[in-house]
């Protein structure tokens, strides 16, 4: 089966610094796949290479078997690689509903004045409300995005991303700054996303990672260290050493196999 996303020896060099150094792994269609690693491992740079925010120094990014390495970011989004950001990218002065509508219109290449007949406008509104219902924000559709809590903004960002009809959804540290209750709610949201949406997330909260992901890729010093199941990653002495500098799973993974 063709992977939804595949990286082939992807690299990003800044002079002598190799932020990403020949990374290869694949993400199965419909997977909930996490990328983890210590600070400086190259996770954020790798996400930028996948999304097209940065051009890779070498290697290839494959979407459903097609090379999109030379495709710019906006075009990759149209093809189905859609990213949420570590820092909010919402229109804070606009309403919750308007944020989703703007994303849907932009993805379709339409302006509001072009939405004729009225049935097309109604269909767009219905779709936006459906997305807000899915992320638990429909009752807040008239609120300004700037009035939302941090966790609610993250929920809205997912609705905005889904409005772009992603094939691969990139979640960049989605739980950062969330309270435990917000994190639990967001984790449920990701769990309940449609099976046809492949999810790749970067996240520092390992409880979130091992609660959501069916596959985990570990980066260290810009290189691919391991890709495996959560159990395999937790049991790996290489991963424990990369994080801690010593083989001691009890500190990093309290529930790790012994």
* pLDDT confidence of residue 246: 46
Q: Tell which residue, 52, 57, 55, has the closest CA to residue 5.
A: 52
State what percent of residues in the chain have pLDDT above 90.
Answer: 73
Question: CA-CA distance, 33 to 201, in Å (whole number)?
Answer: 6
pLDDT band for position 258 (50/70/90)?
A: very low
For 99, the domain range is 89-165
* pLDDT confidence of residue 257: 47
Has residue 86 got a pLDDT over 70?
no
User: Is the same domain home to 29 and 41?
Assistant: yes
Instruction: Give the residue from 150, 165, 180 where a domain finishes.
Output: 165
Question: How far lies 47's CA from each of 36, 50, 79, 179, 181, in Å?
Answer: 12, 5, 16, 25, 27
Instruction: Give the residue from 134, 165, 196 where a domain finishes.
Output: 165
- For residue 91, give the 3-state DSSP assignment: coil
User: What value does the mean pLDDT of the chain take?
Assistant: 88
Of residues 154 and 89, more confidently modeled: 154
Question: CA-CA distance, 125 to 21, in Å (whole number)?
Answer: 44
Task: Say if CB 104 and CB 165 are below 8 A apart.
Answer: no
Question: CA-CA distance, 204 to 257, in Å (whole number)?
Answer: 21
Beta carbons within 10 angstroms of residue 224's beta carbon: 22
User: Is the same domain home to 176 and 256?
Assistant: yes
Instruction: Give the residue from 165, 200, 232 where a domain finishes.
Output: 165
User: Is the same domain home to 119 and 190?
Assistant: no
Has residue 124 got a pLDDT over 80?
yes
Q: Tell which residue, 160, 100, 93, 161, has the closest CA to residue 126.
A: 100
pTM to 2 decimal places: 0.86
User: Is the same domain home to 116 and 149?
Assistant: yes
The tally of CA atoms less than 13 A away on the side-chain side of residue 137 is: 31
pLDDT digits (tens, 9 = 90+) for 170-222: 999 989 889 999 999 999 999 999 999 999 999 989 999 999 999 999 999 99
Question: CA-CA distance, 151 to 56, in Å (whole number)?
Answer: 32
Has residue 254 got a pLDDT over 70?
no
Task: Say if CB 42 and CB 162 are below 8 A apart.
Answer: no
Has residue 82 got a pLDDT over 70?
yes
Has residue 30 got a pLDDT over 90?
yes
* pLDDT confidence of residue 54: 94
């Amino acid at each position: 089966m063709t992977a939804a996303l595949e990286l082939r020896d992807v690299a990003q060099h800044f002079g002598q610094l190799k932020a990403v150094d020949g990374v290869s792994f694949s993400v199965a269609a419909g997977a909930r796949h996490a990328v983890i690693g210590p600070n400086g491992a190259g996770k954020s740079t790798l996400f930028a290479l996948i999304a097209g925010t940065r051009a890779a120094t070498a290697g290839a990014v494959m979407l459903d078997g097609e090379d999109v390495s030379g495709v710019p970011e906006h075009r990759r989004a149209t093809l189905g690689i859609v990213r949420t950001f570590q820092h909010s990218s919402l229109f804070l002065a606009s309403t919750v509903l308007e944020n989703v509508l703007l994303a849907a219109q932009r993805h379709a290449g339409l302006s509001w004045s072009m939405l004729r007949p009225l049935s097309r406008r109604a269909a767009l509104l219905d779709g936006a409300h459906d997305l807000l219902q899915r992320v638990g924000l429909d009752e807040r559709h008239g609120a300004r995005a700037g009035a939302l809590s941090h966790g609610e903004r993250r929920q809205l960002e997912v609705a905005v991303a889904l409005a772009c009809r992603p094939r691969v959804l990139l979640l960049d540290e989605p739980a950062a700054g969330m309270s435990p209750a917000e994190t639990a709610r967001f984790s449920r949201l990701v769990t309940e996303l449609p099976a046809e949406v492949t999810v790749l997330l970067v996240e520092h909260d390992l409880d979130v990672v091992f609660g959501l992901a069916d596959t985990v890729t570990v980066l260290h010093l810009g290189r691919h260290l391991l890709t495996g199941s959560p159990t395999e990653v937790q049991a790996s002495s290489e991963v424990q050493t990369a994080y801690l500098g010593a083989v001691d799973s009890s500190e990093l993974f309290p529930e790790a196999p012994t």
